[in-house]
Structure 1
């Protein structure tokens, strides 16, 4: 039987279409979510003793597991905080401690599937962008010159060398709504005014040399196969630096693309080293025909690539899960 791990609260059209393909192929599957464990209406336990280990009920029956989320560390803890009377600083600290605790609990839950086929492994999805850049460079992929610093002096020296630079999060690019504004953590160019306003020592931040694009590439990787899409994001000032600054009125043109064999071989080495059997990889093809690696997202939105290129990735994912459920 197939097990699908997903955060039920996140809506995803492509995820629903994978379910449709599983149903079409008469596959047997169950759903498994963090809400099953952290909602007050459900009880469960795991026991560990000197004589035996009792794991979660029925987890041994799943031969194929698809991880598309479980429970984010920003879980709703509102019931816990309602009766707590303490400072905002202590509330922040408490939220951080609880998120770390959830991470450890999740790891023990996932241990129950260590002998199942996993797409991808929950251990492998812990992305470290800076470490991945080191690995990509070691394997022979081009990467942007990168800097992690809290020093204005070092940053100005970096700007002097590269002229144009970007700032980007080392964690996920996220966006959230406040009362009167939207706060984004995305990739942005750093302008001279921002540089001048920086103090001599600032919060440690990640910078890269701006890479001029011919085209931007999104590669969906699945068990050694490549499904690559070219995006002409450089033709729109809104999406030129980061295509996630979507222009809904004038979307980027997106078409299928074939990577050079040499680049595919290097990416296979890269993914194998990370023990990732799937993921979405961002590349840039420069005007002088170099392929520059940016990052990999192990649980990236494959529908973004599937639909424009007619790759039917939802069907491919369903087939992979079914083939490994034998």
Structure 2
């Protein structure tokens, strides 16, 4: 496969991308690793000609690449073009880089796993919930609001309820230390006037016996049951146990339809698993983590990503 060039857009230190690159190298695929938010323009140059013979050239410290030869792109959490602390000059340059380099990369006529624009759209919780219900998943009653009265009415009708952020956002605790907002049960007395300050997501708390993490890569589906005593299992990985299981009936088909509807080729689905074996949709991370899951279960997830990147067009 010496003629297979795969472009991996990721950070310099990304052990998950390393796992995929290892499989690609073992199959003699050419791999170009590039982090446009860091490498450009400090360590890379590029040109794209929109002429009678369109072409794109990327020059790094070690490679001179004809981007027209890229046959697949693995988009794996590259560094943003802009940081929160950017000056006005840096913001201008970063924006130009995003729409210039990023625009050229997004326009490459080859398969992505997955395309950054599809990932960005699929990260919105309302899009996820709407799509999940449309394709046939069981979806918990959910309210997104900044109205205190509506939050109280929702809690009265559907309680107990939980709160979770609409998107993971860097924050700090009262001591100024980095903190994470986990999925948390909310009591009626906590529903106060602060709700009016922004949008909040409230959801009925599912009476679950376990969680399911279902990782879908192309046609391949990996289903893992996660047992713990936690409402949000991400809070403490040391308290988790894992069992590889077959997906419940119909689940894989619904996952494939969901991804197809959103133009994705990868999805990390989370479900609450009830006592009567019903998987209830919680969310789908369109670029979610899976490296730790391969390590603890032995599932060949990284090989599946490599398979998809090297898949011949039909």
> TM tier, shorter chain?
0.7 to 0.9
CA shift for structure 1 position 23: 2.1
* Structure 2 equivalent of residue 183 of structure 1: 179
- Indicate the structure whose relative CO is greater, using CA pairs within 8 Å and at least 6 residues apart: 1
Per-residue CA deviations over 1:87-132 (Å, capped at 9, x if unaligned) read xxxxxxx96x88776654464132332x112111222111221112
1:2 to 3, 6, 10: 6
Taking structure 1 as the reference length, the TM-score comes to: 0.81
Equivalent residues of 2:132, 2:258 under 8 A apart: yes
Aligned residues of 2:141 and 2:204 also touching (Cα < 8 A):
yes
Aligned equivalent of 2:126: 130
Residue 264 in 1 paired to residue 252 in 2?
Answer: yes
Number of the residue aligned with 1:109: 104
Task: State the Cα distance separating 1:313 from its structure 2 match.
Answer: 1.3
CA contact (8 A) 2:37 2:80 kept: no
Contact 1:219 1:229 in 2 (8 A): yes
- Worse-superposed segment, 169-178 or 259-268: 169-178
Out of 245, 249, 252, the position equivalent to 2:235 is 245
User: 282-291 or 212-221: which moved more?
Assistant: 282-291
- 1:19 CA drift (Å): 1.9
Distance in 2 (CA, whole Å) between partners of 1:151 and 1:323 is 49
Change over 3 Å in CA distance of 1:62–1:47 after alignment to 2: closer
Instruction: Check the 8 A contact 1:176/1:182 in 2, yes or no.
Output: yes
Q: TM-score, normalised by structure 2?
A: 0.84
* Alpha-carbon separation, structure 1, partners of 2:8 and 2:173: 29
Q: Which runs of 4+ in 1 moved over 4 A?
A: 45-49, 51-54, 97-103, 173-179
Give 5+ residue unaligned stretches, structure 2.
59-65
CA distance in 1, matches of 2:82, 2:171: 13
Equivalent residues of 1:65, 1:116 under 8 A apart: yes
Indicate how the Cα distance of structure 1 residues 75 and 266 shifts in structure 2: closer, same or farther if over 3 A, else same.
same
Q: Choose which of 270, 275, 278 in structure 2 pairs with 1:282.
A: 270
Partners of 2:245 and 2:33 in 1: CA distance: 34
Q: Distance in 1 between matches of 2:25 and 2:50?
A: 37
The gaps in structure 1 that reach 5 residues or longer are 85-93
Maintained 8 Å contact 1:173/1:186: no
CA–CA distance in structure 1, aligned partners of residues 251 and 174 of structure 2? 42
Q: Does 1:159 align with 2:149?
A: no
Q: 1:139 aligns with which of 126, 135, 138?
A: 135
Q: 2:220 aligns with which of 222, 225, 241?
A: 225
Aligned to 1:69: 77
Two-structure CA RMSD over aligned residues (Å): 3.0
Counterpart position of 1:148? 144
Q: Distance in 2 between matches of 1:200 and 1:18?
A: 43
Given the superposition, is the C-alpha separation of residues 220 and 212 from structure 1 closer, same or farther in structure 2, using an over 3 Å criterion? same
| Corresponding position of 2:61 | none
Task: Classify the secondary structure of the residue corresponding to 2:153.
Answer: helix
Corresponding residue for residue 198 of structure 2: 203
Cα deviation for residue 191 of structure 1 reads 2.9
Mapped partners of 2:38, 2:237: distance in 1: 37
- Bigger Cα displacement from structure 2, 11-20 vs 218-227: 11-20
The count of residues paired between Structure 1 and Structure 2 equals 301
